[in-house]
């Protein structure tokens, strides 16, 4: 495969550009602008078009994951570190379920996970990307990561623009419980494959909790990581309930995807 498609194994060691460089801020601003434009245009769309966009983009990440897997397999680079187990990979399961499950409690819980957890995760990854040092901007894996995490930001906001209801506390509790139930599965995958999904085994050197890990060990780090994750998601939900309805004008009930007005 040509350089555009090459996985980092086939690229020079520092093929990308540094975090917090001028190029980093330029590309970050570009994709945040794209996200803002997507939200603006979605707000101007009619109910039928909104429904169609939600349905289409619910499956886009899954299509992107299939293409990425094919590219990796073609280069012999599909290692356990590329399994769709990462926290940001949850969108390939959550978004399709969200548009396929009819309105009700399960759908509300899914929306809480999408808004309270996926939106801040996507934003945090765009702000502190781990791929830009390895890939040039105009390369497949770089663009894949930028587009993926931009969708993680945009799609939750679209659900606000469509459903026009706050994230309810009782649904948030069930959402947190649903995500926490997955932790033993991720721990098992990490132990069998030697991976570090969700940073459950240990933080990376530049992770904010790295000093804590070295100070108190893996047990205390694990407990605090879970506490921090739940706290950040709860804070994210509270801020969205406080800010987004005012910014988006989402005060009145609206159509649920799958219905026409």
Within a domain: residue 14? yes
Within a domain: residue 139? yes
- With 60 as the cut, is the pLDDT of residue 88 above it? yes
**Least confident among 149-158, 200-209, 252-261:** 252-261
Within a domain: residue 155? yes
- The chain-wide mean pLDDT, for the chain, equals 91
pTM of the model: 0.91
- With 90 as the cut, is the pLDDT of residue 205 above it? no
Within a domain: residue 261? no
Structural domain boundaries enclosing 76? 3-248
Average pLDDT score over residue span 200-206: 81
Average pLDDT score over residue span 104-118: 95
Within a domain: residue 138? yes
Within a domain: residue 257? no
Domain count of the fold of the chain: 1
Alpha carbon of residue 77 to chain centroid: 23
Within a domain: residue 260? no
Within a domain: residue 116? yes
């Amino acid at each position: 495969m040509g350089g555009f498609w090459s996985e980092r194994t086939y690229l020079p060691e520092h093929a990308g550009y540094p975090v917090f460089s001028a190029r980093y801020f330029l590309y970050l601003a570009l994709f945040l602008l794209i996200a803002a434009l997507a939200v603006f245009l979605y707000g101007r769309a009619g109910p039928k078009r909104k429904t169609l966009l939600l349905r289409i983009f619910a499956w886009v990440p899954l299509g992107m994951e299939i293409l990425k897997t094919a590219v990796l397999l073609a280069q012999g680079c599909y290692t356990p570190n590329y399994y769709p187990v990462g926290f940001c990979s949850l969108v390939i399961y959550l978004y399709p379920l969200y548009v396929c499950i009819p309105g009700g409690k399960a759908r509300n819980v899914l929306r809480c996970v999408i808004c309270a957890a996926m939106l801040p995760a996507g934003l945090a990854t765009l702000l502190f990307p781990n791929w830009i040092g390895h890939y040039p901007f105009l390369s497949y894996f770089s663009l894949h990561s930028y587009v993926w995490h931009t969708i993680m930001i945009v799609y939750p906001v679209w659900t606000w623009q469509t459903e026009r209801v706050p994230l309810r506390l009782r649904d948030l509790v069930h959402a947190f419980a649903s995500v926490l139930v997955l932790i033993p599965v991720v721990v098992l995958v990490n132990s069998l494959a030697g991976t570090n999904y969700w940073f459950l085994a240990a933080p990376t050197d530049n992770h904010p909790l790295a000093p804590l890990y070295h100070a108190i060990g893996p047990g205390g780090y694990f407990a605090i990581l879970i506490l921090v994750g739940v706290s950040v998601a709860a804070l994210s939900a509270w801020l969205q309930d406080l800010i987004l309805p005012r910014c988006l004008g989402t005060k009145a009930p609206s159509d649920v995807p799958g219905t026409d007005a």
